[in-house]
Amino acid sequence: MAKSKFEYVKQFETEDKLLPNCWIVVRIDGKGFHRFAETHNYIKPNDERALDLMSKSAETVMEEFKDIVISYGQSDEYSFVFRKATNAYNRRASKLATNVVSLFASSFVFNWPRYFGTTMMQYPPAFDSRTVLYPSDKNLRDYLSWRQADCHINNLYNTCFWKLIQEKNLTPAQSQERLKGTMSSDKNELLFKEFEINYNNLPALHRKGTILVRTPKTSMENGDLDLSLQLQHTGSARGQRSRSTLSNKRSSRPNIERLHVDIIGEQFWSDYPDILNPK
């Protein structure tokens, strides 16, 4: 850049470099997505087209930023975890947050027709972003557990809320009043007694959200036999991978696996030890 007498203005930029040796989490969140979902006729309580589009956008971010070791998404939010030692953008908080959210948003718009067909986007969606540091592995796991617990709480409420509206013909206000003050056990009982629904049998995508992890390229080059053997381990995280990963197992693009499993307990972290302890 050529020097000029105006260059002094650079001195007004503030230093926002993040502390070293900490996990960096960039979380993006849809702005006013209740209105966006209503305007674009999202299916209630869960629109799998929208959830798949969110995950596709998150995969685009992970393909660009190789230092992201795990991502977690639910509803209209996604969290991206950068490895402790990352030096992406010299660990500048503003650079990380803005680059992640802008790429996510552009991917969301770019891929909209793939998931919503001829449904035209009525106005541009917006996402905000924030950058948070977590110094220990426990802090990071607790953060991810918090987001998954939030997914469960919201989905259980929304499932009850919309069932009362769609099948009992309650108004939104009546449904809200019916659920006011109820505990999780009350909502589970309501679903079972009034709608013959066992909440635990609902899609794991809706109950647990989506976890994106990287898998070695060799795992997608060993053919269907290797994949079928992995799928036999139904009790493990690897046994419940998304169909989208299997259909793209021979893709030349980075292999990013979608999981809809529990990340609060120990099983997931045993299955994917490299996330916290990269080789």
Condensed to tens digits (0 to 9), the pLDDT of residues 211-227 reads 999 987 644 444 444 44
Condensed to tens digits (0 to 9), the pLDDT of residues 51-76 reads 999 999 999 999 999 999 999 999 99
Condensed to tens digits (0 to 9), the pLDDT of residues 154-175 reads 999 999 999 999 999 999 999 9
Q: What pTM did the predictor assign?
A: 0.86
Condensed to tens digits (0 to 9), the pLDDT of residues 217-269 reads 644 444 444 444 444 444 455 545 544 444 444 444 569 999 999 999 999 99
Condensed to tens digits (0 to 9), the pLDDT of residues 1-39 reads 568 999 999 889 888 999 999 999 999 999 999 999 999
The answer, yes or no, to whether residue 206 has pLDDT greater than 50, is: yes
Q: Cα 99 to the chain's mean position, in Å?
A: 17
SS3 content of the chain, % helix, strand, coil (to 5): 55, 15, 30
Domain with CATH 3.30.70.3000 in the chain: 17-148+204-271
Gap between the Cα atoms of 64 and 151, Å rounded: 26
Quote the CATH superfamily of domain 17-148+204-271. tRNA(His) guanylyltransferase (Thg1) (3.30.70.3000)
DSSP H or E segment with residue 110: helix 93-116
Using pLDDT thresholds of 50, 70 and 90, give the confidence band for residue 88: very high
Instruction: Give the contacts of 249 (CB within 8 A, at least 6 positions apart).
Output: 220, 227, 255
Q: What does the mean pLDDT of the chain come to?
A: 90
